[in-house]
């Protein structure tokens, strides 16, 4: 007597479809978790970068007896007050205090960052702590001319109206870093209550530039060596975040819209800032702009509520 057995063939079409469906569901469940972990790592990296800048800021103050200039600032000698510039940015001044002394030595500090071949070569370096990995608006950390970019900005003024929360140029007040030399004692609101540097992620050369560059053309606010990389704050955090690119009334390409010269990040829910005492905080984008103003002014005498 012969016993025969039939070997089973491959999966049936229905079984194969079930397996594919199960895999798709598992990927759908896993992907958000992976993205969440990746964003948490990116946010931590940005926070660490700001902390390094904070250490550099305090070491600069310790060495010189005053804080670095904001690069861009307010000239109160004119009526109405006008915008003025130092020769170099806050970040250029901080280079020796963030382990970038070799790049700092390349600069002729008597000339603008883009005025000589040597200065241009220095400014074309990428400073890694000035780059946030969560930035969908720029594919690389340099612009079309090879200049290194920044995703952070010194905050030198605020003109959010303390009563309405809307922009009002007549309520302009100095921020944590100002044009020229200032001491920590001049920050009467306290260094732990005053923002020095904030995330401004996404600025790039496609955005509207305003001020003439003495070397020619317009100043490029996305470059770390450009004094005009400093910002004044006129809107709330992550203003006009949706839709992507901004609404027709406030496209991101326009000054003071979205990431164009405002506190802005692509971290979910808010943006990170560095205070003048060196600590870093994540500010929720739902923070009332009037409370944000209190965190920017250096001698407003206010107490901000950030809960």
Tell me if 14 is assigned to some domain: no
Tell me if 167 is assigned to some domain: yes
What is the distance between the alpha carbons of residues 229 and 256, in angstroms, rounded to a whole number?
13
Average pLDDT over residues 246-261: 96
Per the CB < 8 A criterion, the answer to whether 269 and 136 are in contact is no
> DSSP code of 149?
B
What is the distance between the alpha carbons of residues 245 and 264, in angstroms, rounded to a whole number?
13
**24 or 279: which leads in pLDDT:** 279
What is the distance between the alpha carbons of residues 118 and 9, in angstroms, rounded to a whole number?
72
- Residue 153 in this model has a pLDDT that exceeds 90: yes
Residues above pLDDT 90, as percent of the chain:
79
Q: What are phi and psi of 73, to 5 degrees?
A: -160, -165
- Residue 128 in this model has a pLDDT that exceeds 90: yes
Domain range for 147 is: 19-296
What is the distance between the alpha carbons of residues 214 and 114, in angstroms, rounded to a whole number?
10
The mean pLDDT value of the chain amounts to 92
- Beta-carbon contacts of residue 195 (< 8 Å; ≥ 6 apart): 155, 175, 176, 273, 274, 275, 276, 295, 296
- Residue 234 in this model has a pLDDT that exceeds 90: yes
For residue 177, the model assigns a pLDDT of: 97
Tell me if 1 is assigned to some domain: no
Average pLDDT over residues 222-232: 98
Q: What are phi and psi of 270, to 5 degrees?
A: 170, -160
Tell me if 129 is assigned to some domain: yes
What is the distance between the alpha carbons of residues 8 and 107, in angstroms, rounded to a whole number?
76
For residue 69, the model assigns a pLDDT of: 98
Q: Is the pTM of this model over 0.85?
A: yes
- Residue 186 in this model has a pLDDT that exceeds 60: yes
Per the CB < 8 A criterion, the answer to whether 210 and 135 are in contact is no
Tell me if 111 is assigned to some domain: yes
Tell me if 304 is assigned to some domain: no
Average pLDDT over residues 102-109: 98
- Residue 272 in this model has a pLDDT that exceeds 60: yes
Structural domains counted in the chain: 1
Label residue 7 by pLDDT band (50, 70, 90).
Answer: low
Tell me if 117 is assigned to some domain: yes
Average pLDDT over residues 282-300: 97
What is the distance between the alpha carbons of residues 249 and 266, in angstroms, rounded to a whole number?
21
Q: Which two tokens stand for residue 54?
A: 């904070």
Closest Cα partner for 66 from 156, 233, 179, 174? 179
- Residue 32 in this model has a pLDDT that exceeds 80: no
Residues above pLDDT 70, as percent of the chain:
92
Tens of pLDDT, residue by residue over 63-100, are 999 999 999 998 888 877 789 999 999 999 999 999 99
- Residue 219 in this model has a pLDDT that exceeds 80: yes
Tell me if 228 is assigned to some domain: yes
For residue 34, the model assigns a pLDDT of: 54
Average pLDDT over residues 227-248: 97
For residue 31, the model assigns a pLDDT of: 62
Query: For residue 73, what are the β-bridge partners?
Result: 84
- Residue 202 in this model has a pLDDT that exceeds 90: yes
For residue 10, the model assigns a pLDDT of: 64
What is the distance between the alpha carbons of residues 217 and 221, in angstroms, rounded to a whole number?
12
For residue 12, the model assigns a pLDDT of: 80
- Residue 194 in this model has a pLDDT that exceeds 80: yes
DSSP E strand boundaries for the chain:
72-75, 82-85, 152-158, 173-174, 195-199, 231-233, 270-275, 280-284
What is the distance between the alpha carbons of residues 85 and 93, in angstroms, rounded to a whole number?
14
What is the distance between the alpha carbons of residues 246 and 249, in angstroms, rounded to a whole number?
8
For residue 83, the model assigns a pLDDT of: 92
Label residue 13 by pLDDT band (50, 70, 90).
Answer: confident
């Amino acid at each position: 007597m012969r016993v025969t057995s039939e070997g089973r063939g491959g999966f049936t079409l229905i079984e194969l479809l079930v397996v594919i469906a199960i895999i798709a569901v598992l990927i759908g469940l896993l992907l958000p978790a992976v993205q969440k972990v990746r964003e948490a790592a990116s946010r931590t990296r940005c926070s660490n970068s700001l902390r390094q800048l904070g250490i550099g800021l305090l070491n600069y103050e310790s060495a010189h007896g005053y804080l670095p200039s904001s690069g861009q600032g307010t000239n109160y000698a004119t009526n109405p007050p006008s915008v003025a510039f130092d020769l170099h940015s806050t970040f250029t001044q901080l280079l020796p205090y963030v382990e970038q002394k070799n790049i700092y030595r390349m600069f002729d500090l008597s000339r603008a960052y883009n005025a000589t071949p040597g200065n241009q070569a220095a400014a074309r370096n990428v400073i890694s702590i000035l780059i946030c990995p969560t930035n969908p608006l720029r594919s690389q950390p340099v612009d079309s001319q090879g200049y290194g970019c920044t995703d952070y900005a010194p905050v030198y003024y605020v003109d959010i109206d303390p009563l309405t929360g809307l922009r009002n140029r007549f309520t302009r007040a100095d921020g944590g870093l100002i044009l020229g030399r200032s001491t920590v004692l001049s920050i009467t609101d306290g260094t732990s209550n005053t923002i020095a540097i904030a995330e401004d992620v996404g600025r790039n050369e496609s955005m509207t530039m305003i001020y003439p560059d003495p070397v020619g053309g317009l100043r490029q606010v996305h470059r770390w060596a450009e004094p005009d990389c400093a910002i004044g704050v006129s809107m709330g955090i992550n203003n006009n975040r949706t839709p992507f690119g901004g609404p027709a009334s406030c496209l991101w390409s326009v000054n003071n819209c979205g990431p164009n010269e405002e506190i802005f990040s692509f971290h979910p829910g808010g943006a990170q800032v560095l205070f003048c005492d060196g600590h870093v905080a994540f500010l929720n984008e739902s923070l009332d702009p009037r409370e944000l103003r209190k965190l920017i002014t250096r001698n407003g005498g206010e107490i901000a509520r950030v809960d």
